[in-house]
Structure 1
């Protein structure tokens, strides 16, 4: 029998569990640990609340958890309730699938000012992550600046500019919906250091900005390269740039009917966030691309007004004591998923924050292949029986998948009209719902 512990119940964790079950069938026992009482990681608290079709992938993970040899172990903090070393003593393999839950610092002056947030925190706020539910951003000002040129920046800009009615069918949490309904934001600037051909925005997400009820996107035609150069782009990137070209061609008469504007400011490198205690603007330097596509400063600077700033410039994993970590890359030090004997990593914890949700599936299957090479038929380790004994000794309040289904049922039952659920945003509330 093989015993595997997976730390993290997001996509990378569940795809790894699926791979282990497919390879070994009844000859493996997999325990999936999570610090929260609820599973699915970024599917629950990272994917935009108005992208319910993407969240539907959790149905696949539920099917994996329905197997007798795969178990969800929620409300267990690795490093506090039990150490990685202790898990290694109980399981043949321990896989870190913790993702990259922390914001990468912007590294510019003023990022500590009031009403400046990283995207992990801001997205966690409107998605109901318990760690960020009390963030309470001030949306009363007129100008928001979103730093970054990826899909997360698009999500933040879209969420900031939607009407309450446009959230019908979403699972945005009530406190965020209420705050957004009272928002005074009239202008959102999306800052990108490079140009339209270098964006990391996918066509579907970018195209959504052209169909908002009260907001219209703006692109300066002067920022667009020659249209003939689009032929050198990958098909998806070409479609995205086509959207930007269409935004540049929106008639001013149409814009006049929209009270909110989403402006793409390309070739714009933020140099400092300005303000006395609270943010009031962002100092930006105009850039140009060198022969290698890098953004060089031109020396020309200007200030973009900002009452709210959200930085969407990347994420990093959380270090774990005793586990080698690459601080510069924001991930665990590894070679093809191997960290140390018996210790592995997968997904963003292995690669850094890159790729889509689906990228984690082949990643999970590849790390299981390496585990198979290393552990063979397994050992005489205790696995879940040993953990259960330790959990009882330490009086850990472990949440099972059956408990989670009770929490989920309670969330569905308290949903507002037109919403799939109203998430609990407090761990104690989750625990109480499990016991009701």
Structure 2
């Protein structure tokens, strides 16, 4: 017979963690109910941390669309399926017995923040950045001047963008902005249809792209090659596009080799690739590029001042030539000169950044920065309210940054629970909000309902030889969910 050794409570606390005894004795009335608004990466990573860090906490994830995963589903380019692998992790979180997904619920419209605060111990706002920064120039509202965000939503099957009026019966395109989204747009416009048709790109976009006459894409930035916002992975993909050549002007990069060694590593590697693509291309690349029928061109130190049109059609962009000022190699400021330049084109994409929007009058909101004012995820002067992801930081970083931020917000919620700053007394969680939603006749979508949509999309995709064909109509999503 084995005799278990006696362990004093102090040693037991050390073994199990200081929070164990507080949480282990949690009564059913004191179970923390946490609501997360938004089912993108920020929402799921925050949920993951809370579920992991508290053995009794219950987490509800509210989503305005009937389908989960946010930007992973609707923002990642279809030719980047590896980035979408995080969906497997999110699915594991959603299937946790203490996690509930509630789709087709728009906070601020179907239910208020005040309602959520009455029902939940903590409310975490993680609804991302749904609006664009604008240029505020003449001609910006012309037909075929399009938000890059909306275009990405269009080819990814986002319901609000499925009917986006995109005229691809043009040869030249200008993309204003030099971030990863700008390169995503350029790549989708220039990638052979034979490659795209094997992805989960929406069929309406694939059909339109198959008729496209686009031959050249200008990717325009207001600063120089040392200030581009895209990353090396995306640039390398652009240099390897089949039947497409890069155009980088020698005068823009010829002196970069003198400063490369002084740059931080990620910027150094990116700058090396820019330099070598222009100044030292391989014989293989040179041969392939000479035979290409399409091309993309990087243009630097240009700021748009007017979009020209004639008879309701875009004809080009007028740009100011900039000078860069400042002693720092990377953090230079672009200052417009009196010199101007014109690029002929029939389609313009605005890709200069996103911003979040206020979803409820009760929320404090910084309209200039497009974020909810917060201190390390705690919404200012609103105990029990938290924020995570782009709505708290602005649209910066990649999924890894969002993961780190989500984990940190989750830890802050757990700490406030442990310190008694927020309490669970009288909180009934989704039991309470479901009563409100049902009284309004709102159809709620569960994660099991999402499984039905998922299965139907995969089935539809198989007809075209694709991984899936996304349902882009909300009423149709709801019909499948209810089936």
Of 315, 339, 347, the residue aligned with 2:354 is: 315
| Contact 2:243-2:288 at 8 Å conserved across structures | no
Equivalent position of 2:299 in the other structure: 265
Of 61, 65, 79, the residue aligned with 1:36 is: 65
Cα distance in structure 2, aligned partners of 1:150 and 1:336: 26
Cα distance in structure 2, aligned partners of 1:418 and 1:208: 24
Equivalent position of 1:362 in the other structure: 404
Q: How far has the Cα of 1:435 moved from its partner?
A: 2.5
Q: How far has the Cα of 1:332 moved from its partner?
A: 1.0
Write out per-residue CA displacement over residues 112-145 of structure 1, whole angstroms, 9 at most, x where no aligned residue: 1110111111111111100000003000011100
Q: How far has the Cα of 1:388 moved from its partner?
A: 2.0
1:198-347 to 2 correspondences below 5 Å: 198-224=227-253, 225-249=255-279, 250=281, 254-276=288-310, 277-292=312-327, 293-320=332-359, 321-339=361-379, 340-347=382-389
Of 389, 397, 408, the residue aligned with 2:435 is: 389
Write out per-residue CA displacement over residues 204-237 of structure 1, whole angstroms, 9 at most, x where no aligned residue: 1110011111211110011013302011222222
Cα distance in structure 1, aligned partners of 2:201 and 2:33: 37
1:19-98 to 2 correspondences below 5 Å: 19-25=49-55, 27-98=56-127
Equivalent position of 2:145 in the other structure: 116
Cα distance in structure 1, aligned partners of 2:287 and 2:40: 45
Q: How far has the Cα of 1:158 moved from its partner?
A: 0.3
The secondary structure found in structure 1 opposite 2:375 is coil
Cα distance in structure 2, aligned partners of 1:254 and 1:18: 47
The secondary structure found in structure 2 opposite 1:331 is coil
Cα distance in structure 1, aligned partners of 2:256 and 2:269: 15
Q: How far has the Cα of 1:417 moved from its partner?
A: 3.9
| Contact 2:257-2:272 at 8 Å conserved across structures | no
Equivalent position of 1:158 in the other structure: 187
1:431 equivalenced with 2:431 (yes/no): no
Q: How far has the Cα of 1:253 moved from its partner?
A: 5.8
Q: Which moved more, 1:400-409 or 1:287-296?
A: 287-296
Equivalent position of 2:450 in the other structure: 404
Bigger radius of gyration, 1 or 2? 2
Cα distance in structure 1, aligned partners of 2:216 and 2:197: 23
Q: TM-score scaled by structure 2?
A: 0.87
Cα distance in structure 2, aligned partners of 1:370 and 1:108: 42
Cα distance in structure 2, aligned partners of 1:16 and 1:87: 17
Q: How far has the Cα of 1:325 moved from its partner?
A: 0.7
Q: How far has the Cα of 1:408 moved from its partner?
A: 0.4
Cα distance in structure 2, aligned partners of 1:368 and 1:244: 39
Q: How far has the Cα of 1:70 moved from its partner?
A: 0.6
Cα distance in structure 2, aligned partners of 1:283 and 1:238: 32
Q: How far has the Cα of 1:93 moved from its partner?
A: 0.8
Unmatched runs of 5 consecutive residues or more in structure 2 = 1-30
The secondary structure found in structure 2 opposite 1:190 is strand
Aligned residues: 435
